[in-house]
Structures are given as C-alpha cells and as structure tokens.
Amino acid sequence: MYFYLVQNISINNQNFKLHPSGAIFWSEKQLLLIADVHLGKVAHFRKHGSAVPQQVITKNFEQLDRVLSEFDATEICFLGDLFHSHINTEWILFEQWVRSKKVSLSLVTGNHDIINPLRFKELGFELYSERVIDTFLLTHEPEDREGYFNFCGHIHPGVILQGSGKQRLRLPCFFKQPLQLILPAFGSFTGLYILEPSKEDAVFVIGDGEVIAISR
C-alpha cells in the first residue's frame, strides 16, 4: 500500500493537486499533467552497455498506474519527452499500457519526441505543439506569453536544501513563478537541474511520498 500527501494550490480560480510522482491533477478539468517520462531511456542505455537494472523499466508504468488510481482523471496530457528516443523494446510495453487504459491521451511534443507522430495517433493520442485551455498555456519548454499561465516541463527542476549541520539534499521540485509552473520529471531515470528561487517564486519539493512547500 502506498500513501501520498499532495499539495493543493489555486491558480486563476482553478484548483490543482501537486502529486509526489511529479504529476499535477487539474480538478475542474479532471486532467492529469505529466512531464518528461522519458520512456525508452533505460532500454536505450542498456542497449549501449550501461548496467541499468531491468526493473527500472517497469517503475514508470507502475507509477503511472498509481497516479491514475488516485484521481478521477478523464485525460492525461503529457507535456513533452514522453518517449526518450527511437522506438525500442519499451515501446511494446507502452502500447500494452495505453491499450489497457480508458482515459483520453494527449501529447504536447518535446525535443525528445522524435517517433513518427502516426505511431502515437494509432494509439489514440491527440498531438499538439502547444495547447491552450482557458487562460492556461501548456508547453514542453518554458514559455512566456501575455495573458496566460504556463505549465511546462523540460527543465527537470530541483533545489538544494542545506541543514544546520551542513547536510545537503538535492530534491526534485515543482518550481512556481508568478506566471509559470515547471513540473518535475516524472520519469524514474532522469537527472535534476538545480534552480535558485527568487523571492517571488514558490518551491514544492518532493520527498518520501510527500510534496512540501518550502521557503527561500
């Protein structure tokens, strides 16, 4: 049994739940936002001789299932870099996973999404270069646009926390600026890009199954 503690935030009179997996649930739209899964990355590295455990491949699918089980989502919108590179053995698992789900699926394409779009469309995906829903702009890379709040990925944001005993922790986070929120990478085999928050930014770190708001 897994227990998760989410953070509830409100943006433009809409309610969002920040989940420790890195996903965001948009309550009013019953929409899950997920960025940077990088499926296929493990198989890609194993093919080239890296000793990455086989179990890491299934971890992403297990985490997707857990998130879906917690929310009454009718759609998942992936904010880019869903698949890491060219088709490999993980694509077969991905097809099986998609066909076992009843939710709608969409993809805002990212720089790693180089697979022929027809392959995604055959699985029922709607594809976008960017997507606008009401006053929200959904992109892969961060985008500033007047009149819109931007949800995006690409950065794999993280912060460093330092304790009184000089302990240092590098943790993934949701990084919120006044008109933008960068999602952490959902994939289990991804790195972090350390960001330095300003006074206007809000940071929600992920650790031990919990999303925690921290001060600068």
Q: What local confidence, expressed as pLDDT, does residue 165 receive?
A: 66
User: Average pLDDT of 28-47?
Assistant: 79
CATH numbers and ranges of domains, the chain? 7-214 (3.60.21)
For the chain, the straight-line distance linking the first and the last C-alpha, in angstroms and rounded, comes to 33
Q: Is the pLDDT of residue 38 over 50?
A: yes
Q: What is the pLDDT of residue 82?
A: 93
The one-letter amino acid code at 197 reads P
* Res. 202: pLDDT tops 90: yes
Name the nearest CA neighbour of 179 among 141, 145, 129, 153. Answer: 145
- The model's confidence at residue 51, banded by pLDDT at 50, 70 and 90, is very low
pLDDT digits (tens, 9 = 90+) for 88-146: 778 889 999 999 999 999 999 999 888 999 999 999 999 999 999 999 999 999 999 99
- The residue ranking higher by pLDDT, 168 or 203, is 203
Burial class (CB in 10 A: 0-12, 13-18, 19+), 118: exposed
pLDDT for 1 equals 36
pLDDT at residue 18 greater than cutoff 70: yes
The C-alpha angle 58, 129, 177, rounded to 5 degrees, equals: 80
pLDDT score at 4: 67
CA distance 134 to 12: 10
Sign of CA dihedral 69, 70, 72, 78: negative
For the chain, percent of residues with pLDDT exceeding 70:
88
Say what the pLDDT of residue 149 is. 98
Per-residue pLDDT, 189? 59
User: Which of 59-73, 93-107, 113-127, 183-197 shows the lowest mean pLDDT across its residues?
Assistant: 183-197
Mean pLDDT of the chain: 89
Contact 17, 31 (CB under 8 A): no
H or E segment and range at residue 94: helix 89-99
Decide if pLDDT at 164 tops 50.
yes
**194 within 8 A of 170, measured Cβ to Cβ:** yes
Q: Is the pLDDT of residue 49 over 50?
A: no
User: Mean pLDDT throughout 29-51?
Assistant: 72
Q: 0.95 cut: is pTM over it?
A: no
